[in-house]
Amino acid sequence: MIPRRALSALLLPAAAAAQEPPFPARPVTLLVGFAPGGGTDILARLLAARLSEEFGQPVAVENRTGGGGTIAALAAARARPDGHTVTLGTVSNMVQVPLAMRSPPFDPARDITPIVLVAAVPMVVTVPAKSPARDLAGFIALARENPGRLNFASNGVGTSQHLAAELFMQATGTRMVHVPYRGSGQVVMDLAQGVVDVNFDTLASVLPGIRQGMLRGLAVTTARRSDQLPEVPTVMESGVPDYDFDVWYMLDGPAGLAEPALRRWSEATARALADPALRARLRDAGFEAAGGTPEEAAALVRREIARYGTAIRRAGIQLD
């Protein structure tokens, strides 16, 4: 027979677990590593509104910019693993930038719990509407005629925008000057005004400017054309072989994220992404809704760490 005192000790953990309120017990914070107005911010706000309905709690988007998006990623990695603070990460700030850092503030393979792949989007090589380059071949010729005189923008050193441009320069034998920003919103405005000459950015970030006639899309970076810009050829169609580059967005929490919260996030996001109204809004904004399981999200991160680790070393990109 188990003594009463010993029995009470055995029951304490179960009683504590039973008293733990189910997730979400309070408002939820969704961290974004880039400034308002860019693709990540747009997607986060569209998703947050629908997730607020799923959770029955407010989901507040909080922009924490800097470090190529790693400040928000680090904050998510350091958050309590109860699910109330997560980040909408991208392949840029969750994989590429940390791999490019000499001393990264977090390890994407160890310190983060991938939750679910939310969306993917092609990038677009974009110039001001007044640019003399009418197509990608024309831009390549312009860049070759003016080595080191044209500039390109990015969301920071080591980000997707930076890496896409570096790989493009390697593939085309061109040389341009890098101008890093904190987010796509300001980049698009400066690009439209001719402050920068070219931008490699997500379709979601540049699509409004292209539609309004302020920007000209020269080529999309993926292997196939975008349904949103069917008249714009791919980089490969424009004469640059083997150039295939896209950006994905993923919900991520801290390592050790509680299993009930992980599953609740995954299931709620799956229902949100299945909503025809949200899918239509995402598509109109330039995103392709994704989905899947936490296990599939984690497998994607592992593949991308291997893929971009090699690409970053070849490009010689390194952050101190």
Each residue's pLDDT tens digit, 75-120: 999 999 999 999 999 999 999 999 999 999 999 999 999 999 999 9
Q: Report, in angstroms and rounded to the nearest whole number, the Rg of the chain calculated over CA atoms.
A: 22
Confidence band, pLDDT 50/70/90 cuts, at residue 151: very high
Sign of the Cα pseudo-torsion (307, 313, 314, 319, in order): positive
Provide DSSP, 42-64: HHHHHHHHHHHHHHTS-EEEEE-
pLDDT at 18 (0 to 100): 46
For strands 85-90 and 151-154, give the pairing.
unpaired
pLDDT at 314 (0 to 100): 80
Asked if the domains at 26-120+247-315 and 122-220 fall in one CATH topology, the answer is yes
pTM over 0.75: yes
Phi first, then psi, for residue 225 (nearest 5°) are -70, 160
According to DSSP, residue 69 is labeled G
Mean pLDDT of 154-180: 92
According to DSSP, residue 145 is labeled H
Q: CATH number for the 122-220 domain, one of 3.40.190.150, 3.40.190.10, 3.10.20.30, 3.40.50.12160?
A: 3.40.190.10
d(C-alpha 145, C-alpha 82), whole Å: 55
Q: 16's torsion region: left (phi>0), alpha (psi -120 to 50) or beta?
A: alpha
Where is pLDDT greater, at 6 or 47? 47
Mean pLDDT of 239-245: 93
Residue 9 burial by Cβ neighbours in a 10 Å radius (0-12, 13-18, 19+): exposed
d(C-alpha 166, C-alpha 228), whole Å: 25
d(C-alpha 92, C-alpha 28), whole Å: 23
CATH fold, domain 26-120+247-315, is D-Maltodextrin-Binding Protein; domain 2 (3.40.190)
Q: What percent of the chain has pLDDT over 70?
A: 93
Confidence band, pLDDT 50/70/90 cuts, at residue 15: very low
d(C-alpha 94, C-alpha 120), whole Å: 14
Domains of the chain: which residue ranges?
26-120+247-315, 122-220
Each residue's pLDDT tens digit, 246-295: 899 999 999 999 999 999 999 999 999 999 999 999 999 889 999 999 99
Share the mean pLDDT of the chain. Answer: 92
**CA distances to 125, 136, 172, 197 from 142, in Å:** 14, 10, 12, 11
Chain length of the chain = 320
Q: What percent of the chain has pLDDT over 90?
A: 79
